[in-house]
Structure 1
Protein backbone atom coordinates (compact mmCIF):
# COMPACT_ATOMS: atom_id res chain seq x y z
CA UNK A 1 0.00 0.00 0.00
CA UNK A 2 1.39 3.34 -0.86
CA UNK A 3 2.06 5.92 1.81
CA UNK A 4 -0.75 8.25 0.67
CA UNK A 5 -3.42 5.56 0.99
CA UNK A 6 -2.06 4.56 4.40
CA UNK A 7 -2.31 8.15 5.64
CA UNK A 8 -5.88 8.36 4.29
CA UNK A 9 -6.75 5.14 6.14
CA UNK A 10 -5.36 6.49 9.41
CA UNK A 11 -7.25 9.75 8.94
CA UNK A 12 -10.46 7.86 8.10
CA UNK A 13 -10.16 5.71 11.23
CA UNK A 14 -9.46 8.75 13.40
CA UNK A 15 -12.39 10.74 12.01
CA UNK A 16 -14.83 7.82 12.31
CA UNK A 17 -13.70 6.32 15.60
CA UNK A 18 -17.04 6.97 17.35
CA UNK A 19 -19.06 5.36 14.54
CA UNK A 20 -16.73 2.37 14.46
CA UNK A 21 -17.00 1.99 18.23
CA UNK A 22 -20.82 2.18 18.06
CA UNK A 23 -20.88 -0.44 15.32
CA UNK A 24 -18.76 -2.81 17.40
CA UNK A 25 -20.82 -2.03 20.50
CA UNK A 26 -24.05 -2.82 18.64
CA UNK A 27 -22.77 -6.40 18.33
CA UNK A 28 -21.21 -7.09 21.71
CA UNK A 29 -23.16 -4.78 24.06
CA UNK A 30 -20.08 -4.27 26.21
CA UNK A 31 -17.85 -1.20 26.24
CA UNK A 32 -14.56 -3.00 26.94
CA UNK A 33 -15.21 -5.68 24.35
CA UNK A 34 -16.20 -3.06 21.78
CA UNK A 35 -12.94 -1.21 22.41
CA UNK A 36 -11.01 -4.46 22.00
CA UNK A 37 -12.81 -5.12 18.71
CA UNK A 38 -12.01 -1.62 17.46
CA UNK A 39 -8.36 -2.08 18.41
CA UNK A 40 -8.20 -5.49 16.71
CA UNK A 41 -9.93 -4.07 13.64
CA UNK A 42 -7.44 -1.22 13.36
CA UNK A 43 -4.57 -3.67 13.72
CA UNK A 44 -6.05 -5.94 11.04
CA UNK A 45 -6.69 -2.99 8.74
CA UNK A 46 -3.16 -1.66 9.04
CA UNK A 47 -1.55 -5.07 8.64
CA UNK A 48 -3.70 -5.95 5.61
CA UNK A 49 -3.77 -2.47 4.09
CA UNK A 50 -2.20 -3.84 0.92
CA UNK A 51 -5.59 -5.42 0.07
CA UNK A 52 -7.28 -2.01 -0.01
CA UNK A 53 -7.77 -1.29 -3.68
CA UNK A 54 -8.87 2.34 -3.66
CA UNK A 55 -9.74 5.28 -1.46
CA UNK A 56 -13.40 5.05 -2.53
CA UNK A 57 -13.88 1.60 -1.03
CA UNK A 58 -12.13 2.40 2.25
CA UNK A 59 -15.30 2.85 4.33
CA UNK A 60 -16.92 -0.40 3.24
CA UNK A 61 -13.59 -2.24 3.51
CA UNK A 62 -12.94 -1.08 7.07
CA UNK A 63 -16.55 -1.59 8.22
CA UNK A 64 -16.35 -5.12 6.89
CA UNK A 65 -13.27 -5.72 9.03
CA UNK A 66 -15.14 -4.36 12.09
CA UNK A 67 -18.24 -6.50 11.42
CA UNK A 68 -16.18 -9.64 10.84
CA UNK A 69 -14.07 -9.00 13.95
CA UNK A 70 -17.25 -8.50 15.98
CA UNK A 71 -18.79 -11.71 14.67
CA UNK A 72 -15.55 -13.61 15.34
CA UNK A 73 -15.60 -12.29 18.90
CA UNK A 74 -19.20 -13.42 19.40
CA UNK A 75 -18.41 -16.86 18.02
CA UNK A 76 -15.52 -17.19 20.45
CA UNK A 77 -17.56 -16.02 23.40
CA UNK A 78 -20.68 -18.03 22.50
CA UNK A 79 -22.70 -15.55 24.49
CA UNK A 80 -23.82 -11.95 24.36
CA UNK A 81 -23.17 -9.78 27.38
CA UNK A 82 -25.86 -7.30 28.29
CA UNK A 83 -24.93 -3.92 29.68
CA UNK A 84 -27.05 -1.88 32.02
CA UNK A 85 -28.32 1.53 30.83
CA UNK A 86 -26.02 3.48 33.14
CA UNK A 87 -22.88 1.89 31.68
CA UNK A 88 -24.22 2.39 28.17
CA UNK A 89 -24.74 6.10 28.81
CA UNK A 90 -21.22 6.46 30.20
CA UNK A 91 -19.64 5.01 27.06
CA UNK A 92 -22.15 6.19 24.48
CA UNK A 93 -21.80 9.22 22.25
CA UNK A 94 -21.93 12.56 23.99
CA UNK A 95 -24.45 14.91 22.47
CA UNK A 96 -26.85 17.30 23.98
CA UNK A 97 -30.35 16.72 22.69
CA UNK A 98 -30.01 13.00 21.93
CA UNK A 99 -32.92 10.85 23.02
CA UNK A 100 -32.71 7.12 22.75
CA UNK A 101 -35.68 5.27 21.33
CA UNK A 102 -35.76 2.35 23.74
CA UNK A 103 -38.61 0.65 21.89
CA UNK A 104 -36.61 0.74 18.67
CA UNK A 105 -33.52 -0.65 20.41
CA UNK A 106 -35.55 -3.53 21.84
CA UNK A 107 -37.16 -4.21 18.47
CA UNK A 108 -33.75 -4.20 16.76
CA UNK A 109 -32.36 -6.68 19.28
CA UNK A 110 -35.16 -9.11 18.42
CA UNK A 111 -34.20 -9.18 14.74
CA UNK A 112 -31.88 -11.92 13.49
CA UNK A 113 -28.24 -10.81 13.34
CA UNK A 114 -28.06 -10.47 9.53
CA UNK A 115 -31.22 -8.34 9.45
CA UNK A 116 -30.07 -6.15 12.34
CA UNK A 117 -26.70 -5.60 10.67
CA UNK A 118 -28.34 -4.38 7.48
CA UNK A 119 -30.52 -1.88 9.37
CA UNK A 120 -27.65 -0.62 11.52
CA UNK A 121 -25.32 -0.17 8.57
CA UNK A 122 -27.98 1.53 6.43
CA UNK A 123 -29.66 3.87 8.89
CA UNK A 124 -27.17 4.35 11.72
CA UNK A 125 -23.93 4.23 9.75
CA UNK A 126 -25.44 5.73 6.56
CA UNK A 127 -23.91 3.20 4.18
CA UNK A 128 -25.35 2.73 0.70
CA UNK A 129 -26.91 -0.58 -0.30
CA UNK A 130 -23.88 -1.37 -2.47
CA UNK A 131 -21.50 -0.68 0.43
CA UNK A 132 -23.55 -2.88 2.76
CA UNK A 133 -23.41 -5.69 0.21
CA UNK A 134 -19.64 -5.31 0.08
CA UNK A 135 -19.32 -5.22 3.88
CA UNK A 136 -21.47 -8.29 4.36
CA UNK A 137 -20.14 -10.07 1.27
CA UNK A 138 -23.66 -10.57 -0.04
CA UNK A 139 -25.57 -9.91 -3.25
CA UNK A 140 -27.16 -6.45 -3.54
CA UNK A 141 -30.62 -8.01 -4.01
CA UNK A 142 -30.14 -10.05 -0.84
CA UNK A 143 -29.37 -6.86 1.08
CA UNK A 144 -32.41 -5.09 -0.38
CA UNK A 145 -34.63 -8.03 0.59
CA UNK A 146 -33.22 -8.18 4.13
CA UNK A 147 -33.65 -4.44 4.54
CA UNK A 148 -37.25 -4.57 3.34
CA UNK A 149 -38.06 -7.55 5.57
CA UNK A 150 -36.31 -5.94 8.55
CA UNK A 151 -38.26 -2.72 8.18
CA UNK A 152 -41.52 -4.64 7.82
CA UNK A 153 -40.76 -6.67 10.97
CA UNK A 154 -39.78 -3.53 12.87
CA UNK A 155 -42.95 -1.75 11.75
CA UNK A 156 -45.12 -4.67 12.90
CA UNK A 157 -43.22 -5.00 16.18
CA UNK A 158 -43.35 -1.29 16.94
CA UNK A 159 -47.07 -1.03 16.15
CA UNK A 160 -47.79 -4.08 18.34
CA UNK A 161 -45.92 -2.43 21.24
CA UNK A 162 -47.89 0.79 20.79
CA UNK A 163 -51.17 -1.14 20.79
CA UNK A 164 -50.15 -2.97 23.98
CA UNK A 165 -49.35 0.36 25.66
CA UNK A 166 -52.78 1.74 24.77
CA UNK A 167 -54.62 -1.23 26.32
Structure 2
Protein backbone atom coordinates (compact mmCIF):
# COMPACT_ATOMS: atom_id res chain seq x y z
CA UNK A 1 0.00 0.00 0.00
CA UNK A 2 1.40 3.37 -0.98
CA UNK A 3 1.77 6.28 1.41
CA UNK A 4 -0.93 8.18 -0.46
CA UNK A 5 -3.38 5.26 -0.09
CA UNK A 6 -2.59 5.02 3.63
CA UNK A 7 -3.07 8.78 3.94
CA UNK A 8 -6.53 8.60 2.36
CA UNK A 9 -7.47 5.60 4.50
CA UNK A 10 -6.39 7.35 7.71
CA UNK A 11 -8.16 10.54 6.65
CA UNK A 12 -11.42 8.65 6.07
CA UNK A 13 -11.06 6.78 9.38
CA UNK A 14 -10.59 10.06 11.26
CA UNK A 15 -13.65 11.63 9.63
CA UNK A 16 -15.83 8.55 10.20
CA UNK A 17 -14.90 8.26 13.89
CA UNK A 18 -14.49 11.89 14.91
CA UNK A 19 -17.09 11.69 17.70
CA UNK A 20 -15.30 8.75 19.36
CA UNK A 21 -11.96 10.54 19.15
CA UNK A 22 -13.41 13.69 20.68
CA UNK A 23 -15.13 11.66 23.42
CA UNK A 24 -11.84 9.93 24.25
CA UNK A 25 -9.92 13.22 24.46
CA UNK A 26 -12.72 14.86 26.44
CA UNK A 27 -12.67 12.03 28.98
CA UNK A 28 -9.12 13.08 29.86
CA UNK A 29 -9.45 16.86 30.10
CA UNK A 30 -13.18 17.51 30.67
CA UNK A 31 -13.04 20.68 28.60
CA UNK A 32 -14.43 21.13 25.11
CA UNK A 33 -11.70 23.39 23.74
CA UNK A 34 -8.85 21.34 25.19
CA UNK A 35 -10.36 18.12 23.87
CA UNK A 36 -10.65 19.64 20.40
CA UNK A 37 -7.02 20.78 20.60
CA UNK A 38 -5.93 17.27 21.59
CA UNK A 39 -7.84 15.70 18.70
CA UNK A 40 -6.40 18.23 16.28
CA UNK A 41 -2.85 17.58 17.52
CA UNK A 42 -3.44 13.83 17.30
CA UNK A 43 -4.66 14.15 13.71
CA UNK A 44 -1.57 16.15 12.75
CA UNK A 45 0.69 13.57 14.41
CA UNK A 46 -1.14 10.71 12.70
CA UNK A 47 -0.95 12.29 9.26
CA UNK A 48 2.76 13.03 9.70
CA UNK A 49 3.48 9.46 10.77
CA UNK A 50 1.12 7.64 8.38
CA UNK A 51 4.08 5.77 6.90
CA UNK A 52 4.57 4.04 10.29
CA UNK A 53 1.15 2.40 10.02
CA UNK A 54 2.19 -1.02 8.76
CA UNK A 55 -1.15 -2.79 8.95
CA UNK A 56 -4.36 -0.83 8.18
CA UNK A 57 -6.36 -3.39 10.20
CA UNK A 58 -4.79 -1.90 13.35
CA UNK A 59 -5.68 1.68 12.47
CA UNK A 60 -8.14 2.05 15.35
CA UNK A 61 -5.67 1.04 18.04
CA UNK A 62 -2.89 2.98 16.31
CA UNK A 63 -4.91 6.21 16.30
CA UNK A 64 -6.31 5.66 19.81
CA UNK A 65 -2.74 5.33 21.06
CA UNK A 66 -1.90 8.66 19.43
CA UNK A 67 -4.95 10.34 21.02
CA UNK A 68 -4.24 8.86 24.48
CA UNK A 69 -0.57 9.85 24.37
CA UNK A 70 -1.45 13.34 23.14
CA UNK A 71 -4.00 13.74 25.96
CA UNK A 72 -1.52 12.57 28.59
CA UNK A 73 1.14 14.91 27.18
CA UNK A 74 -1.37 17.77 27.30
CA UNK A 75 -2.18 17.05 30.95
CA UNK A 76 1.50 16.83 31.89
CA UNK A 77 2.28 20.05 30.03
CA UNK A 78 -0.48 22.03 31.71
CA UNK A 79 -0.33 20.39 35.18
CA UNK A 80 -3.38 22.21 36.40
CA UNK A 81 -7.01 21.49 37.00
CA UNK A 82 -9.08 22.18 33.92
CA UNK A 83 -12.30 24.14 34.27
CA UNK A 84 -15.23 21.92 33.41
CA UNK A 85 -17.33 24.27 31.31
CA UNK A 86 -20.06 21.69 30.69
CA UNK A 87 -20.50 21.16 34.43
CA UNK A 88 -21.28 24.84 34.90
CA UNK A 89 -23.88 24.64 32.16
CA UNK A 90 -25.34 21.44 33.62
CA UNK A 91 -25.74 23.10 37.02
CA UNK A 92 -28.49 25.27 35.52
CA UNK A 93 -30.35 22.32 34.00
CA UNK A 94 -32.71 19.94 35.83
CA UNK A 95 -30.74 17.16 37.52
CA UNK A 96 -31.29 13.45 37.17
CA UNK A 97 -31.08 11.14 40.18
CA UNK A 98 -28.05 9.33 38.76
CA UNK A 99 -26.02 12.53 38.39
CA UNK A 100 -24.57 12.37 41.90
CA UNK A 101 -23.35 8.82 41.37
CA UNK A 102 -21.97 9.75 37.95
CA UNK A 103 -20.16 12.76 39.38
CA UNK A 104 -18.68 10.65 42.18
CA UNK A 105 -17.54 8.06 39.67
CA UNK A 106 -16.08 10.67 37.32
CA UNK A 107 -14.26 12.39 40.20
CA UNK A 108 -12.85 9.04 41.33
CA UNK A 109 -11.69 8.24 37.77
CA UNK A 110 -10.09 11.68 37.49
CA UNK A 111 -8.08 10.99 40.67
CA UNK A 112 -6.50 7.85 39.20
CA UNK A 113 -2.93 7.99 37.84
CA UNK A 114 -2.88 8.32 34.02
CA UNK A 115 -1.94 4.67 33.40
CA UNK A 116 -5.02 3.49 35.35
CA UNK A 117 -7.31 6.21 34.05
CA UNK A 118 -6.46 5.25 30.46
CA UNK A 119 -7.39 1.64 31.08
CA UNK A 120 -10.75 2.51 32.66
CA UNK A 121 -11.63 4.91 29.85
CA UNK A 122 -10.60 2.56 27.08
CA UNK A 123 -12.30 -0.49 28.61
CA UNK A 124 -15.54 0.90 29.94
CA UNK A 125 -16.17 4.12 28.01
CA UNK A 126 -14.67 3.20 24.64
CA UNK A 127 -15.61 -0.49 25.01
CA UNK A 128 -12.27 -1.83 23.80
CA UNK A 129 -11.30 -5.43 24.46
CA UNK A 130 -8.30 -6.25 26.66
CA UNK A 131 -6.13 -7.16 23.66
CA UNK A 132 -7.05 -3.90 21.91
CA UNK A 133 -6.17 -1.96 25.05
CA UNK A 134 -2.83 -3.77 25.16
CA UNK A 135 -2.21 -2.67 21.58
CA UNK A 136 -3.15 0.96 22.35
CA UNK A 137 -1.03 1.18 25.51
CA UNK A 138 1.88 -0.90 24.21
CA UNK A 139 1.68 -3.26 27.20
CA UNK A 140 1.15 -6.99 27.19
CA UNK A 141 -2.29 -8.43 27.93
CA UNK A 142 -1.40 -9.65 31.43
CA UNK A 143 -0.10 -6.21 32.41
CA UNK A 144 -3.33 -4.65 31.18
CA UNK A 145 -5.40 -7.14 33.18
CA UNK A 146 -3.35 -6.54 36.33
CA UNK A 147 -3.52 -2.76 36.02
CA UNK A 148 -7.22 -2.84 35.20
CA UNK A 149 -7.86 -4.92 38.33
CA UNK A 150 -5.79 -2.48 40.41
CA UNK A 151 -7.64 0.51 38.90
CA UNK A 152 -11.03 -1.02 39.69
CA UNK A 153 -9.88 -1.78 43.22
CA UNK A 154 -8.80 1.86 43.69
CA UNK A 155 -12.17 3.03 42.35
CA UNK A 156 -14.06 0.77 44.75
CA UNK A 157 -12.07 2.15 47.65
CA UNK A 158 -12.56 5.74 46.49
CA UNK A 159 -16.32 5.67 45.95
CA UNK A 160 -17.28 2.83 48.26
CA UNK A 161 -18.95 -0.51 47.84
CA UNK A 162 -21.99 0.81 45.93
CA UNK A 163 -19.70 0.75 42.85
CA UNK A 164 -20.17 -3.02 42.64
Q: Match of 2:63?
A: 62
Which residue is 2:5 aligned to? 4
Correspondent of 2:88 among 86, 89, 95: 86
Contact 1:31–1:88 (CA under 8 A) maintained in structure 2: no
Q: Structure 1 residues 109, 62: CA separation in 2 closer, same or farther (over 3 Å shift)?
A: same
TM value normalised by structure 2: 0.81
Q: What is the rounded CA distance, in whole Å, between the counterparts of 1:18 and 1:124 in structure 2?
A: 13
User: Residue 72 of structure 2 contacts residue 114 of structure 2 at CA under 8 Å; is this kept in 1?
Assistant: no
Asked if the contact 1:29–1:80 (Cα under 8 Å) also holds between the matched residues in 2, the reply is no
- Unaligned stretches of 5+ in structure 2? 92-97
User: What is the number of equivalent residue pairs in this alignment?
Assistant: 154
Contact residue 119 and residue 133 of structure 2 kept, 8 A: yes
C-alpha separation in 1, matches of 2:4 and 2:126:
27
Q: 2-side partners of 1:35 and 1:144: how far apart? A: 30
Does the 8 Å CA contact 1:37/1:66 hold for their aligned counterparts?
Answer: yes
In the alignment, structure 1 segments of 5+ residues that lack a partner are 90-98, 163-167
Moved more, 57-66 or 78-87: 78-87
Matches within 5 A, 1:102-121: 102-121=103-122
TM-score calculated relative to the size of structure 1? 0.80
1:156 to 1:42, Cα distance in 2 relative to 1, 3 A: same
Does the 8 Å CA contact 2:6/2:51 hold for their aligned counterparts? no
Question: Which whole-Å CA distance do the structure 2 matches of 1:72 and 1:16 have between them?
Answer: 22
